[in-house]
Amino acid sequence: MIRKDYHMHTTYCDGSNTAEEMVQVAIGKGMTEVGISGHSHTAFDESYCMSHEETERYRQELLALREKYRDQISVRIGLEVDRYSDADTDAFDYTIGSVHYIRVPDPRQGGAGAGADADAAATAAGAGAAVPTGCLPHTEDGQAWIYIPMDETAEITRAAADAYFGGDLIALAERYFETAGEVAKATGCDIIGHFDLLTKFNEKTEPPLIDTGDPRYIAAWKKAADQLLQADIPFEINTGAMSKGYRTEPYPAKPIRDYIRSRGGRFILSSDSHRTDTLCYQFDQYKSELE
Ligand SMILES: [Zn+2]
Ligand SMILES: [Zn+2]
């Protein structure tokens, strides 16, 4: 039985249970180690993450819980760090690097400082076109971006592909994996989170939202995997979308796991729990893949 789980959320971000409830249930399940990994701050979307102040309060509470329960379980103090987070991660035991968004230069800015991406997007969307619902405009250091969430709804992903990628979902996927491929360098993370998150809705859409058999799709994830393998840190086998009923398979998909393993990559099991009853969800089904 796997008794360790390093990916879970609490009421500090978008989870349903307190950190102490997560720790107590982990103890009750006989776990030897538990890592809590609240969502790090993203300036362009504060709806689900911790503010900078909350991040510090969260860390302080976890320090207290680590002391309180030290005879029963080892509590690790983590963060799930988005590729585009602005959080300071130095004070944490470990971080999970995740891509929840891709971004494109805002075509309404006339492509200022952006080059071919913005030109293509401006052509597709029209310079005066409205930002699709769910996409998030945000300006940083004088550059206007549109952030596109990858795990909100299939409709948002599709609308963003129409507005910014000429309707080409594989081009959107290529941008996703360019972003994923740089997550280790960009965040300095210790674990690679849900590598193919953009396929979250594939089992709920007909035909599947992202055609994972497309040769361009396969080339894109292979390139990202090769980049991340150089960091020599484990990839998650993440069962979070299974426990939430979106998928029957973990992230990443089996062909990706097989490829990573064939190149010497390692895995760690993560439940990505947002409530106490999904800790170590389905871990026994995949534990053989850790060997
Ligand atoms: Zn995540
Ligand atoms: Zn998570």
Q: How far is the CA of 193 from the centre of ligand 1 (A)?
A: 7
pLDDT at 116: 53
pLDDT at 118: 52
Q: Which two tokens stand for residue 144?
A: 């206007």
Q: How far is the CA of 1 from the centre of ligand 1 (A)?
A: 24
Amino acid letter, 59: R
Q: How far is the CA of 165 from the centre of ligand 1 (A)?
A: 24
Q: How far is the CA of 282 from the centre of ligand 2 (A)?
A: 16
Q: How far is the CA of 110 from the centre of ligand 1 (A)?
A: 32
Q: How far is the CA of 123 from the centre of ligand 2 (A)?
A: 35
Q: Report how far Cα 242 is from the mean position of its chain's Cα atoms.
A: 15
Q: How far is the CA of 164 from the centre of ligand 1 (A)?
A: 23
- Supply the range of the domain harboring residue 60: 4-290
pLDDT at 206: 95
Q: How far is the CA of 8 from the centre of ligand 2 (A)?
A: 6
Q: How far is the CA of 80 from the centre of ligand 2 (A)?
A: 6
Q: Which two tokens stand for residue 178?
A: 């360019």
Q: How far is the CA of 124 from the centre of ligand 2 (A)?
A: 33
What pLDDT tens digit does each residue of the chain (291 aa) get?
778 999 999 999 999 999 999 999 999 999 999 999 999 999 999 999 999 999 999 999 999 999 999 999 999 999 999 999 999 999 999 999 999 999 999 999 865 444 555 555 555 555 567 999 999 999 999 999 999 999 999 999 999 999 999 999 999 999 999 999 999 999 999 999 999 999 999 999 999 999 999 999 999 999 999 999 999 999 999 999 999 999 999 999 999 999 999 999 999 999 999 999 999 999 999 999 997
Q: How far is the CA of 149 from the centre of ligand 2 (A)?
A: 14
Q: How far is the CA of 259 from the centre of ligand 1 (A)?
A: 22
What's the predicted TM-score (pTM) here?
0.93
Which ligand does the CA of 197 lie closest to? 1
| Environment of ion ligand 1 (residues, CB < 5 A) | 98
pLDDT at 121: 54
Q: Which of 275, 180, 277 is nearest to 236 (CA)?
A: 180
Q: How far is the CA of 67 from the centre of ligand 1 (A)?
A: 27
Q: What is the number of H-type helices and E-type strands within the chain?
A: 10, 10
The count of domains in the chain is: 1
> Residue 80 sits in a domain of what CATH number?
3.20.20.140
**Which stretches of the chain are DSSP H helices?**
19-28, 52-68, 116-125, 154-164, 169-181, 183-187, 215-229, 240-243, 254-262, 283-286
Q: How far is the CA of 83 from the centre of ligand 1 (A)?
A: 10
Distance, in Å, from the CA atom of 14 to the CA atom of 50, rounded to the nearest integer, reads 9
